Structure 1
Amino acid sequence: MGQRSGMRYLLFGLLLLLAFLSWKLFRGGTQEFANDLDRFKYGSLGAELAAGIPYEIFLALPQVFPDLLERHASQGWGAGKSGRGGYAAFGLAWERDRPLPIGFSIKRLGVERVTVTCALCHTTVYRLAANDAPRYAHGGPGHSVNIQGLLRFLFAAARDPRFSASALLPVMEKQSPLDWLDRALYTVVWIPLTRLALHVAEGQLAWMEEKPAWGPGRDDAFNLPKYVLTQAAWDDTVGNTDFPALWRLGGRAGQLIHAGGEAHTVAAVIATSALGTGALPFGEFEMRNRWLERYLGDLAPPPFPAPQDALLSARGATLFAAHCAACHSSGGARTGRAIPVDEVGTDPEHVLTFQDKDARRMNRVTAKLGMDYAELQGAPGYVARPLLGTWALAPYLHNGSVPTLHDLLTPPLQRPTVFYRGYDVLDTDKVGFVAVGEEARANGFLFDTRLRGNGNGGHRYGTALAAPEKRALLEFLKTL
């Protein structure tokens, strides 16, 4: 009887230990936000299980691998880039007193895990002068965000023998005290799993090393889902594309949404983008997506942050109505429609990246996941978007190949062949960001329009206007 009783107690103790470990490994958490804007900036998209990195590990990596961070954050950038410490070196928007930059969520699943949000690629950082504090246009294109550099840093760290408990734990314990069980779980579970997950992700994204660099403010928008989500064979297409603005998407009903016209609805854009971050299509997936659609439906851009000439702008409004409104006003006859490449003349590479065969593969994936509403089509051309927050959309065209609106109104052969992008100081005269000169060279990424996918020869509209007309039109465009 004594032995049986002892066994029962032993089994009961083991069950309690297993229950405690299960709670420790899989306990969930909730997020609370003061307002909708904070939720947009820091709210989880549900990618913790598939793509979450434990917060303590994520925070320790720049301290354990400062050499790798410097190498991958500064690649292609000027010398001024090296002065930014930690993850800020990747051009991220970081608000004071926040644990991580805008666009990163922290939510508990076993441990607190870091994942990305829409705001990572859709927050514009700008300043009026080099000595100003940064300002943020929430929902705008993240023109300074070096996503590829960040990924390369994480992948390089995972390949390095220093990615180990012996190197990471001392740094992690300086950040936050760990008890003996936490240290054991990080040693046996979280650190090895994180390293393995980064190895897997590197294999899925290895194709990007065979193509021209994205540079700041861009990714390969449709090769990402084509290769990763549909498992299509790698090809030689180059789809490097600027992050778009997300302002007032509610007004885009009935219009094509993506740069190449691949999506018919905002819901499709949000769902496929969420999948691309690692979000899993169950649980609160649909609820989160519907909230984002409502929030982005009315999100407005900030006004142009410098003085304007009202009289000159009024003249420009007349020119806009005559030369631009058909494609770029909210009710224009061609607004939200795809303009064929042969007409618009823009670099064709993005359109060639995602054709009907690719759309069919993607649609089979989303249909299996119960998301028939997320159906895409092959890119028919480049979409003429309604102009909102136009001053913050630089550099211009889908691939960011034209630095300012002034340059966009010049004939293609007169546009800059090389310039620097990613610097956050506004050029309020030419309308864009400072892209030439010593400041731009020191703080920007060298962009070469001669590289494949970077062509700047498109959108010849308005280039024949007289110089006074161009100045008036530029002044009006600041108001949109």
Structure 2
Amino acid sequence: MRLLRCALLGLVGLAVLAAGIGLYFVVYPNLPEYEAPEALHYLDQWGEADRQTYYYTPQGTQVKGLEYDWFGALERPFSQDRFATPDYLARFGFLVDPAQQPTALNPGNLPVGFARHEDDETGRAYLDVTCAACHTGELRYNGQAVRIDGGAAMHSLASTVPTLRGGSFGQALGMSMAFTYYNPLKFRRFAQRVLGERYERDRAQLRQDFKRVLDRLLGTAYNDWHRGLYPTEEGFGRTDAFGRIANTVFGDALDPANYRVANAPVSYPQVWDIWKFDWVQWNGSAMQPMARNIGEALGVGARLQLMHENGAPITEAERYASGVRVRDLHTLETTLMRLAPPRWPEAILGNIHVEQASRGRALYRENCAHCHDAKPKPVTKRFAPDRDPEWHMPVISTTVVGTDPTTADNIADHRFDLSRLGWTQAELDRLDVRLFGKTSDPLDLTQVSSAKGLAYITAYVEARAYRDAGIRTDERAEFDGFGLPIGVQELRGYKARPLDGIWATPPFLHNGSVPSLFQLLSPVAERQTRFWTGSREYDPRHVGIRTEGFEGGFLLDTSITGNSNRGHEFRAGCRGNGVIGRALAPAERWALVEYLKVLGNPSFESRLKDLPPRPYNPGPACL
């Protein structure tokens, strides 16, 4: 009995110790220190007005109902320092300008992508995380920072699952709110900041409202953890976008039985020239700009209630009401149409070696252009005749390109039960949804793919949002984007894309598993299998991120499911299973890397010598 008691006490002690360690890292997350750059340089991608519109126009999302003023009033758990100070939020990887000050668009002086929106239904102002938060990048070199508008973020926004290393914005925010709610002194200071003269009258109601949002945050963290939904840690600069959107729309809003394991993180893709593509998303599955943006907004937290809290269906007339702001989404989309790819800044990152870049252009035309050159479609072949240009980029099968297939496989294989929505085939046929490669069989609502399910739900949400926003019938084609339908195709592959500005988007491949362009052009055996992310320190020679370990960084391990760095390989031997081209000598790789710094930049392209390329050789196929 005495031995059993000692064993039980030991187990309790270990549990308390583990909980204490976990709490410590959530309260004091293991984050990189923020050091302001000597100077921040904006490239000539668009005008300042467009930049500010993109950074701070809301799209209708909410952080579980967190109000904008609450966010600014929160303190860190064991400090009276504010949570939302630019320097602290920059430690999570969010982008700030050392010289920034509050503006009408950014009254809280928050990082890029943190906007304020007033909800039309409640009149309350919520914290809105916009597309700019994930599609704006920054690089550091020799103390200088270069902002990459439309580039890939390097933040830790997505993760909701507690880890012993901490480091996630969601975890830290949840703990800040928990300590505020349960510490009377903290809550008093918080409430006085938020309410001012209304403190005595409205304090009790504020406490109730605050607890409701805290419960949602903690409930999401518990749900994601105990279901094991996100086993592959995303770290900095990645999220399982498709998986999270599907779990939000099909699981949170409809039926818990629809939750699926999402173990395929992807990097945030660059968005310059996105309006020109006939198909978008990593797997080329979506067509219409508005539907794509509504899906993104729903995944990030736009309000959507498909069922009552007791599981009963909502009436058809009210079912698809959402927080999506279609007028603002249209503003963001049209603003992005003016965004130019970034141009290599020689004064900051170093001069271009013209002779080497000239050799690289010939090598590019031989080895890369057949997949990565933009292919303008003739007017008669365009999905949108008025879109000029309209580019078709091939979706390369995972069996050919050989890169980690988990993202493409999950999108192709996961099925969801949407039968509780009560759709009929005749009803779906009337929607502006076009299924490419569709069989003649009626849709089985108990086994709907994520792409098809999101297409139909966004069609309903879009129609309701247009009606609520007063968008006239004759305006809808413009808001849709070139009058396009909500097109869907389901291919087990990844879309190639033009490489203008590719130098500014490390790490590479869809899952961010290769740190530099030089490694991407090298055989898989020469690529790093583990490297650190979370720093923006740039390597202009290899064209990629620095990979050394640093305090607060995230170690990306390519042996973990979803993280593989294989494929897209140039290697001697037969072609197939990820080998896409002949072996490139080191000198050829250096030349290609030099050219990829300036590809698409007219001022540089005109300076290069026009060396004749060798003809493209598909090589022998493996049997």
**CA distance change for structure 1 residues 161 and 172 in 2, over 3 Å: closer, same or farther?**
closer
Q: CA deviation at 1:64?
A: 3.4
Q: CA deviation at 1:264?
A: 2.6
> Which residue matches 1:102?
112
Q: Is the Cα–Cα contact under 8 Å of residues 135 and 150 in structure 2 kept in the other structure?
A: yes
Q: Is the Cα–Cα contact under 8 Å of residues 58 and 128 in structure 2 kept in the other structure?
A: yes
SS in 1 for 2:234: coil
Identity %: 29
Say if 2:370 is the partner of 1:326: yes
Say if 2:306 is the partner of 1:304: no
Q: Is the Cα–Cα contact under 8 Å of residues 90 and 96 in structure 2 kept in the other structure?
A: yes
> Which residue matches 1:40?
54
Q: Pick from 80, 88, 91 the counterpart of residue 89 of structure 1.
A: 91
Q: CA deviation at 1:135?
A: 3.0
Q: Is the Cα–Cα contact under 8 Å of residues 362 and 376 in structure 1 kept in the other structure?
A: no
Matches within 5 A, 1:286-297: 286-297=326-337
Q: Pick from 430, 440, 444 the counterpart of residue 542 of structure 2.
A: 430
Q: Is the Cα–Cα contact under 8 Å of residues 250 and 298 in structure 1 kept in the other structure?
A: no
Report Cα offsets for 1:82-139 as digits up to 9, x if no partner. Answer: xx9522221110122241111100234545421101111111021112x33x331111
**Separation in 1 of the partners of 2:180 and 2:73?**
15
Say if 2:291 is the partner of 1:268: yes
Q: CA RMSD in A?
A: 3.1
Q: Is the Cα–Cα contact under 8 Å of residues 192 and 199 in structure 2 kept in the other structure?
A: no
Give TM-score, length-normalised by structure 1.
0.80
**CA distance change for structure 1 residues 351 and 216 in 2, over 3 Å: closer, same or farther?**
same
Matches within 5 A, 1:168-187: 168-171=187-190, 173=192, 177-180=196-199, 183-184=202-203, 187=206
SS in 1 for 2:337: helix
**Separation in 2 of the partners of 1:444 and 1:354?**
30
> Which residue matches 1:447?
556
Say if 2:402 is the partner of 1:398: no
> Which residue matches 2:526?
414
> Which residue matches 2:575?
none
Match for 2:567: what amino acid?
Answer: G
Matches within 5 A, 1:79-228: 86-95=88-97, 96-98=100-102, 99-109=109-119, 110-129=123-142, 131-132=143-144, 134-148=145-159, 149-158=168-177, 162-163=181-182, 166-171=185-190, 173=192, 177-180=196-199, 183-184=202-203, 187-202=206-221, 205-206=224-225, 207=227, 210-228=230-248
**Separation in 1 of the partners of 2:231 and 2:294?**
26
**CA distance change for structure 1 residues 415 and 469 in 2, over 3 Å: closer, same or farther?**
same
> Which residue matches 1:361?
453
Q: CA deviation at 1:328?
A: 1.0
Q: CA deviation at 1:282?
A: 5.8
Unaligned runs of 5+ in 2: 1-46, 103-108, 160-167, 252-256, 304-320, 378-390, 414-448, 464-483, 571-580, 600-623
Q: Is the Cα–Cα contact under 8 Å of residues 152 and 268 in structure 2 kept in the other structure?
A: yes
**CA distance change for structure 1 residues 292 and 373 in 2, over 3 Å: closer, same or farther?**
farther
**Separation in 2 of the partners of 1:208 and 1:37?**
38
Q: Is the Cα–Cα contact under 8 Å of residues 408 and 463 in structure 1 kept in the other structure?
A: no
**CA distance change for structure 1 residues 412 and 159 in 2, over 3 Å: closer, same or farther?**
same
Report Cα offsets for 1:140-183 as digits up to 9, x if no partner. Answer: 01024443211222334455574566423314646884543675
**Separation in 2 of the partners of 1:42 and 1:163?**
32
Match for 2:374: what amino acid?
Answer: S
Match for 2:457: what amino acid?
Answer: V
Match for 2:511: what amino acid?
Answer: N
**Separation in 2 of the partners of 1:216 and 1:275?**
22
Give the paired residue count.
426
**CA distance change for structure 1 residues 182 and 416 in 2, over 3 Å: closer, same or farther?**
farther
Q: CA deviation at 1:213?
A: 0.6
Q: CA deviation at 1:413?
A: 1.5
Q: Is the Cα–Cα contact under 8 Å of residues 423 and 444 in structure 1 kept in the other structure?
A: yes
SS in 2 for 1:382: strand
> Which residue matches 1:248?
273
> Which residue matches 1:28?
none
Say if 2:594 is the partner of 1:475: yes
Match for 1:455: what amino acid?
Answer: S
> Which residue matches 2:497?
385
Report Cα offsets for 1:261-313 as digits up to 9, x if no partner. Answer: 22134333222112222335668733222222222223113211222112221
SS in 1 for 2:374: coil
**CA distance change for structure 1 residues 366 and 204 in 2, over 3 Å: closer, same or farther?**
farther
**CA distance change for structure 1 residues 37 and 260 in 2, over 3 Å: closer, same or farther?**
same
SS in 2 for 1:147: coil
Q: Is the Cα–Cα contact under 8 Å of residues 346 and 455 in structure 1 kept in the other structure?
A: yes
**Separation in 2 of the partners of 1:55 and 1:477?**
42
Match for 1:479: what amino acid?
Answer: V
Q: Pick from 244, 250, 253 the counterpart of residue 230 of structure 1.
A: 250
Report Cα offsets for 1:316-368 as digits up to 9, x if no partner. Answer: 11111111111112228996221011100101100111126222332332233
**Separation in 1 of the partners of 2:354 and 2:584?**
20
Q: Is the Cα–Cα contact under 8 Å of residues 396 and 404 in structure 1 kept in the other structure?
A: yes
**Separation in 1 of the partners of 2:330 and 2:180?**
43
Q: Is the Cα–Cα contact under 8 Å of residues 117 and 125 in structure 2 kept in the other structure?
A: yes
**Separation in 2 of the partners of 1:266 and 1:214?**
26
Matches within 5 A, 1:339-354: 339-354=396-411
> Which residue matches 1:29?
none
**Separation in 2 of the partners of 1:382 and 1:284?**
28
Match for 2:364: what amino acid?
Answer: F
**Separation in 2 of the partners of 1:373 and 1:189?**
43
Q: CA deviation at 1:53?
A: 1.5
**Separation in 2 of the partners of 1:387 and 1:347?**
20
Match for 1:194: what amino acid?
Answer: V
**Separation in 2 of the partners of 1:102 and 1:472?**
35
Q: Is the Cα–Cα contact under 8 Å of residues 337 and 384 in structure 1 kept in the other structure?
A: yes
**Separation in 2 of the partners of 1:38 and 1:186?**
35
SS in 1 for 2:272: coil
Q: Is the Cα–Cα contact under 8 Å of residues 352 and 379 in structure 1 kept in the other structure?
A: no
**Separation in 1 of the partners of 2:118 and 2:326?**
20
Q: CA deviation at 1:193?
A: 3.2
Q: CA deviation at 1:412?
A: 0.6
Match for 1:459: what amino acid?
Answer: H
**Separation in 2 of the partners of 1:261 and 1:182?**
54
Q: Pick from 462, 465, 468 the counterpart of residue 584 of structure 2.
A: 465
**Separation in 1 of the partners of 2:199 and 2:262?**
50
Match for 1:86: what amino acid?
Answer: Y
